Structure 1
Amino acid sequence: MNIVITSHRFYPDIGGIETITEVLANFFVGEGHQVRVVTGSVCNEFDDNFNFSVHRNPSNKDLLHIYSWADIILQNNLEVRRLWPLLLVKKPVVIGLQTWIRSIDSKRSFIHLLKLLSLRLATRTIACSDAVKQDSHPRSLVIGNPYDDKLFRVTSDAVRKKSIVFLGRLVSDKGADMLLNAFSTLKNRDWSLTIIGDGPQRTFLENLSLSYDLEPYVNFKGFLKGDILVEELNQHEIMVIPSRWNEPFGVVALEGMACGCAMLVSDGGGLPDAIGSAGFQFIKGNQNDLNQKLQLLVDDESLRQQLRSNVQHHLLHHTSNFIGGQYLSVLIDACKSFYGFSSI
């Protein structure tokens, strides 16, 4: 098949949608299909060293030509502005919903309603979690997100400390301040906390740590990636994702558990899907519940081991090959349905 993937953001931008697009494109190419990625992200053309072509901000004429070439269009997250060629060239389109179709305050504007309406153009829709499915398009097929299973792993020389780790952007919605509060209430003073990430709240969080007299126990690492990040995660017993926001999924949870961390996450949005039975949950936004659950996980080594025992089976359903295979099956099914023939 000739597959076009539209991805509003892509390399060199860093994020979940960017990663998922690259994982899917590489998988499709590996299965013998031709792939073109259409994106709005700007990059030096000499940096586009991929096994597929990347078209950055194509003109309307070029976009129409690309769609004409395709057997099928996969939108990795809905982009209404790149649906117009389908009015001129009839092609099957699969829309992957990677986030909420509503504003961060949970309201829906006219634009959000237009996006919901445009889902009717899709031959098939995919939601990254059951929560996104129920919120946006109940007829969607749920396919979770993949993680980089070649990078994130338990290393052979891992030495775990009595330490808790937070990984994410330092903004209020991610709840790092709630984790600092919970950490300050621990009865155990032989544990430490590592904050990985950067953002506008970093100074506030550093000052908050000082106000709790936690300076000897809290380490702000800044932004880490690649093997350095994997090595750091392998040094911790517990990862906490205390998001106040309803995360659509939560790939960071997969990365944490793949590196051997026992997971404690808020129960909002798609995070329960992301951890399955391999993690522990607290009530989103409830400080007391977070405090109690963190204390329990710190105290109970057997509980941490129990959670880890469920990780391998859970992660098998989020490898690049498994998720890529599920997406490819949907694309093939959509082509069969649209074109009315059985040989793709």
Structure 2
Amino acid sequence: MKILIYSPSFYPNVGGIETIVATLATEFSQQGHLVKLVSLTPNRDAEQFTFEVIRQPKTRDLINLMRWCDVYFQGCISLKGIMPLLAIRKPYVASHHTWYRRANGSKSWQDYLKNLVSLFATNVSVSHAIASHLPVKSSVIPNSYRADTFKLIPEIKRDRELIFLGRLVSDKGVGLLLQALANLKEYGLYPKLTIIGKGAEENNLRRQARDLNILEQVNFVGVKTGRELVELLNAHQIMVVPSLWHEPFGIVALEGIACGCVVVGSEGGGLKDAIGQCGITFPNGNVSALTQRLAELLKDPSRLSLYRQDSEVHLSRHQQTEVAQAYLRVFEQAVG
């Protein structure tokens, strides 16, 4: 199959959608398909991919690429990338990784137009929550995670309690987690919390920890990557993902599960799909419920093994090869 992928933002830009698209394109190529990726992002370095990357093509070049392909794929709808379909009709598949609405819940004309475009596409959603947000039927194919990086390291002693991994911004709910940590004193519990990440809210969070008199329980360790990050995750029992907004999915939960953490996360949106049976959820923004969930696990650590027992089966659905094959089945249906 000849697959043309349109990804306006791509390497060397680094982000969730860029990583997801690169992973899928690599898997498609490795599974024997011809893949070309179009991007508007310039790059002066030599390409190091198993597929061809065409940077900032002219209109006639893009039209020729449309003639070449069997299926046209976008990882999130790009309105600019829809234009070639007006000239050359080809089977069109769009995957949806976020909500088509503003942060306050309102919709712009771009959001309305993207919903309209989905009516003419074969659609894939990364979670059941995203699928229910669309005006059309959508196949649900979850995101994958880097199984070659995030894995169990048996020799590391898992002797630390709580860990957070993510950007230190208000939407991620770290302030909620700090309040829950302070509330746990009412249960006679004084767990330690490791916070991995950087962001605009870091100074405010440090101040909040001091005001709550829990500063000695909280360790801000900054950004960690690679082996150092994986070792830290392996040393902890519980990963907390306390997002205030409704996450479309939640790859960070998969990374924690793969490293042996039980996940406590917000139930709104698609995060619960990523957690599966490998953790528990609480209503977004509900500090009392978060405190209770953490207290239940910390007071009875034997429950942690119950959530870990399904991790292998759960993670098998998020392997890069499995996810790519699910996409390819959708492509074949669209072409057929």
Residue pairs, 1:1-344, within 5 angstroms: 1-46=1-46, 48-122=47-121, 124-187=122-185, 191-336=191-336
* Counterpart residue number, 1:339: none
Residue 162 of structure 1 contacts residue 190 of structure 1 at CA under 8 Å; is this kept in 2? no
Letter in 2 for 1:29: S
Q: Structure 2: any 5+ residue segments left out of the alignment?
A: none
The one-letter code of the counterpart of 2:49 is F
**Equivalent residue number for residue 341 of structure 1:** none
Question: For the residues of structure 2 that align with 1:279 and 1:189, how far apart are their CA atoms?
Answer: 20
- Structure 1 Cα separation of the partners of residues 59 and 52 of structure 2: 18
- 2:184–2:190 CA contact under 8 A, matched in 1: no
Answer with 191-200 or 62-71: which moved more: 62-71
- Separation (CA, whole Å) in 1 of partners of 2:43 and 2:183: 46
Asked if 1 retains the 8 angstrom alpha-carbon contact of 2:119 and 2:135, the reply is: no
Displacement, 1:214? 2.1
Q: CA–CA distance in 2 between the matches of 1:40 and 1:14?
A: 14
Helix, strand or coil at the partner of 1:164: strand
Instruction: Assess if the C-alpha contact under 8 Å between 1:162 and 1:192 holds in 2.
Output: yes
SS in 2 for 1:45: coil
Contact persistence 1:78–1:95 (CA under 8 A): yes
Is the 2:4–2:36 contact (alpha carbons within 8 Å) kept by the matching residues of 1? yes
Q: Could you tell me which amino acid in structure 2 is paired with residue 160 of structure 1?
A: R
- Which residue does 1:342 correspond to in 2? none
| Matched residue count | 334
- Give the unaligned 5+ runs of structure 1: 337-344
Deviation at 1:310, TM superposition (A): 1.3
SS at match of 2:36: strand
State the TM-score, normalizing by the size of structure 2: 0.96
Residue 43 of structure 1, CA deviation: 2.9
Deviations along 1:189-215, one digit per CA (max 9) or x if unpaired, are: 552111111111111111111212222
> 1:14 offset after TM fit, Å?
2.5
Between the aligned partners of 1:12 and 1:208, the Cα distance in structure 2 is 36
1:56 & 1:214 partners in 2: Cα distance? 50
Aligned-partner residue type, residue 39 of structure 1: S
Quote the Cα distance in structure 1 between the aligned partners of 2:207 and 2:41: 35
Contact 2:189 2:295 in 1 (8 A): no
- Which stretches of structure 1, 4 residues or more, deviate above 6 A after TM superposition? none
d(CA) in 2 for partners of 1:12, 1:223: 19
